[in-house]
Amino acid sequence: MKVLLATENPGKVTEIRGIFQQKLPQAELLSIADLPQQVREKYDAHETGLTYAENSLIKARALAKLVDGIILSEDSGLEVEALGRAPGIYSARYAPTDKERCEKILHALRDVPAAQRRAQFVACVTLLENGGNPIYFFGRRTGTVATALRGDKGFGYDPIFIPDGETETWGEAPEKSKLLLSHRGIALKLAMDYLIVRLSQKSERAGHSSKVEEKLP
């Protein structure tokens, strides 16, 4: 099974591939970077949606205009309670770089005590097959915002997010320990469970067809 990833974020590509390798290793994943140059140049997804689902679908449909097959897209964000759930869907546009985005949140929370630094990561994964019938899968992970950048693993807001039940930020934690337990990992696991069922159904149909052909005169 070939799955096309509608993202130009190298951090997401690496993480999604790691999750698939653990859960669905037989799938072949291609990102936009793996496509021919003439296709890459035409990919244009403006995230103008007001929800994670809308933005995820925008990215999937933008790629579906250029290629056929199973397309997987994802939109996610960090919601900080003390900031009115910001940055939310604007997480990737909150500041120019990952470090600046983290520092902007830390500065905004500089006087906020630990008990009031609650936050959650939210992810929406969209599966689109041959351009139609989108299916959505959601994942959430709650935690708190650290008081300083900690660790250099992962990407995005990982160095300032401490998931509930842990003492390390995702920037400090071993990568494998995060993959299937993150908001993205939870949503992708649901999507992969669906794909596994689809693979099974296709295999059963193929087996049924071959048996029918054997009975034909």
* pLDDT one-digit tens code per residue, 73-92: 999 999 999 999 999 999 99
Q: What pLDDT score was predicted for residue 130?
A: 83
Domain positions in the chain = 2-207
Phi, psi of 123 (to 5 degrees): -135, 145
Q: What proportion of the chain, given as a percentage, has pLDDT over 90? A: 78
Question: Would you state the pLDDT for residue 22?
Answer: 87
pLDDT band (50, 70, 90) for residue 105:
very high
Could you tell me the CA-to-CA distances from 177 to 10, 125, 154 in Å, in that order?
19, 20, 11
**Mean pLDDT in the chain?**
91
pLDDT at 202: 65
Q: What is the mean pLDDT of residues 177-202?
A: 88
Ranges of beta strands (E only) in the chain are: 2-5, 28-31, 70-80, 86-87, 118-129, 132-145, 161-163
**Cβ proximity of 109 and 72 under 8 Å:** no
Q: Return the percentage of the chain with pLDDT > 70, whole number.
A: 93
Mean pLDDT of 107-134: 95
pLDDT tier at 203, thresholds 50, 70, 90? low
- Mean pLDDT computed over 187-199: 91
Q: What is the pLDDT of residue 212?
A: 44
pLDDT of residue 200: 78
66 contacts: CB under 8 Å, gap ≥ 6? 35, 39, 42, 43
Q: Which CATH class is domain 2-207?
A: alpha beta
What is the average per-residue pLDDT within 1-29?
91
How far apart are alpha carbons 137 and 126 in whole angstroms? Answer: 6
Work out the end-to-end distance of the chain between its first and last CA atoms, rounded to an integer number of angstroms.
33
Q: How confident is the model over 148-164, as a mean pLDDT? A: 96
Residue 175, pLDDT above cutoff 90: no
Q: Which residues are catalytic?
A: 75
Specify the pLDDT at position 163.
97
Global pTM value: 0.89
Mean pLDDT, residues 201-214: 56
Span 183-212, average pLDDT: 77
